[in-house]
């Protein structure tokens, strides 16, 4: 970990990078540089971009203050689309793997040991399972409305990408969308369904998306502002 004035950052070398670039996310500031770039060039590059980095970090902190973070503890609350769920933690030392089950507005987590790591693991497993059901139902409905179809569905946990649609119709969605309001998940699904027919982001794509989702710009802006805070 390096630091320029008050901005800590980490450096990652990449064989695919053609030039240095900076990524600011919930995990921090990462500088991606070509494999052969001398480290002496990194600090001046980060210093040059420092005002932009600080503005981006400030916007992320402001967005997090607007969007309450999950409380990963017994009695805490976690979001599930438009529903807050209360956590109840059950520590069972003999348990070999974590388990989560929802009963009404309460989510019961069964773990072998206390601590945020075990709870987050149990929660993520549960969210991934729920995401497949929630996304599949919405995706099937949206595809039917568009008179099209997809080939496969995967649930992933990428740090920066919310969804993708391949040229073969393979769909991928981020389970963390379940931490957002339901209208945001619905928007992302509509976005990808349009890609089943229009594979680029041409004016034709945006016109079709607006026809299907008139408020897409509002949803896109919400996701851009609050997306980094959608994490456990």
pLDDT reported for residue 127:
97
End-to-end CA distance of the chain: 23
pLDDT reported for residue 226:
87
> What residues of the chain score a pLDDT lower than 70?
1-6, 26, 63-68
pLDDT reported for residue 5:
53
- CA neighbor of 81 nearest in space, from 158, 186, 216: 186
In the chain the domains, ranked by start, together with CATH numbers, are 2-66 (no CATH), 77-229 (3.30.2010.10)
Could you tell me the two tokens for 73? Answer: 């503890």
pLDDT reported for residue 34:
92
pLDDT reported for residue 60:
74
CA distances to 13, 142, 199 from 10, in Å: 10, 41, 34
CA separation for the pair 88, 106 (Å, rounded): 7
What is the pTM (predicted TM-score) of this model? 0.76
Question: What is the C-alpha radius of gyration for the chain, rounded to an integer number of angstroms?
Answer: 20
pLDDT reported for residue 6:
64
CB 184 within 8 A of CB 173: no
């Amino acid at each position: 970990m390096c630091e320029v004035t008050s901005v800590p950052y980490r450096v990652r070398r990449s064989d695919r990078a053609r030039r240095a670039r900076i990524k600011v996310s919930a995990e921090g500031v990462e500088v991606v540089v070509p494999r052969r770039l001398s480290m002496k060039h990194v600090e001046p590059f980060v210093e040059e971009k420092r005002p932009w980095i600080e503005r981006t970090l400030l916007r992320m902190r402001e967005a997090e203050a607007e969007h309450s973070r999950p409380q990963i503890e017994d009695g805490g609350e976690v979001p599930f689309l438009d529903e807050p769920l209360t956590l109840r933690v059950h520590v069972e030392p003999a348990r070999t793997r974590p388990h989560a089950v929802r009963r009404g507005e309460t989510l019961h987590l069964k773990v072998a040991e206390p601590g945020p790591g075990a709870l987050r693991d149990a929660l993520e497993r549960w969210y991934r399972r729920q995401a497949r059901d929630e996304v599949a139902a919405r995706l099937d409905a949206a595809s039917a409305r568009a008179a099209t179809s997809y080939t496969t569905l995967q649930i992933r946990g990428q740090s920066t990408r919310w969804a993708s649609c391949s040229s073969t119709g393979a769909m991928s969605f981020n389970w963390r969308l379940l931490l957002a309001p339901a209208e945001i998940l619905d928007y992302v699904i509509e976005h990808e369904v349009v890609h089943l027919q229009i594979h680029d982001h041409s004016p034709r794509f945006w016109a079709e998306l607006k026809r299907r989702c008139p408020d897409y710009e509002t949803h896109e802006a919400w996701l851009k502002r609050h997306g980094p805070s959608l994490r456990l």
